[in-house]
Amino acid sequence: MEVPLTWYLVLSGILFSIGAVGVLINRNALVIFMCIELMLNAVNLAFVTFSRQQNSMDGQIFVFFIMTVAAAEAVVGLAIIIALFRNKATINVDDINIMKW
């Protein structure tokens, strides 16, 4: 039995929302980071779904790009978090507000 496309899209939407809410309500930088990855992968899922529906490879190629960027982003992001932790001994984003006036 074929799983309908809608289901994939709904799953993608749910994953994206979980990620977005996670970014907003979490204080732990690492968790926020993981939530962002979740959002990215939700988008990936949507891309693949549409790619299959449209019978086109474009979407899948995009997915590769997004995964590459996500990997690079993970490197930079983790490095920032480690640097922050070394300086401040915390990764609670509410305690990190040096980037203001």
Partner 1 sequence: MLNQFGITFLDLIGFVILFPLAGTIINGFLGKRLSKSIVGYVGCAAIGLSFIVALFVLLDLLKLSPEHRVFEKEYFTWIGSGAFRAIAGLQVDPLSVVMILVVTGVGFLIHVYSIGYMHEDKSFYRYFTYLNLFTFSMLILVLANNFLLMFIGWEGVGLCSYLLIGFWFEKKSASAAGMKAFIVNRVGDFGFILAILLIFVTFGTIDFTEVFHAAPEHLQIGSIVAATITLLLFVGAVGKSAQIPLYTWLPDAMEGPTPVSALIHAATMVTAGVYMVVRCNVLYTLSPFTMTVVAVIGGATALFAASIGLVQNDIKRVLAYSTVSQIGYMFLACGLGGFITGVFHLVTHAFFKALLFLGSGSVIHGLGGEQDMRKMGALKKYMPITYITFFIGTLAIAGIPPFAGFFSKDEILLEAYTKGSLFFWGLGAIAALLTAFYMFRLLFMTFHGKSKMTKRVEEHVHESPNSILFPLIVLAVLSVLGGFLGFPTLSVINEFLAPVIGAGHHGLAHGGESHHVSSNLMFSMMGISTGIAIVGIVVAYVMYISRPELPGVIAKRFKGIYNIILNKYFVDEIYDATFVKPTLRASNILWKVVDVKIIDGFVNAVGRLTVLKSEVLRLFQTGLVRNYAFSIMLGGIIIIICSILFL
Output b/e per residue, 21-55; b: 16+ Cβ within 10 A: ebbeebeebeebbebbbbbbbbbbbbbbbbbeeee
Quote the longest CA-to-CA distance of the chain: 59
Q: How far apart are CA 68 and CA 88, in angstroms?
A: 30
CB of 98 to partner 1, least distance (A): 6
Of the two residues 23 and 60, which places its CB atom closer to partner 1 in the complex? 23
Strand stretches in 53-92, DSSP E: none
34: CB partners within 8 A, 6+ apart: 22
Of the two residues 24 and 76, which places its CB atom closer to partner 1 in the complex? 24
CB of 79 to partner 1, least distance (A): 16
Contacts with partner 1, residue ranges (CB under 8 A): 20, 23-24, 27, 32, 93-94, 96-101
Of the two residues 59 and 77, which places its CB atom closer to partner 1 in the complex? 77
Of the two residues 18 and 60, which places its CB atom closer to partner 1 in the complex? 18
CB of 2 to partner 1, least distance (A): 29
CB of 36 to partner 1, least distance (A): 9
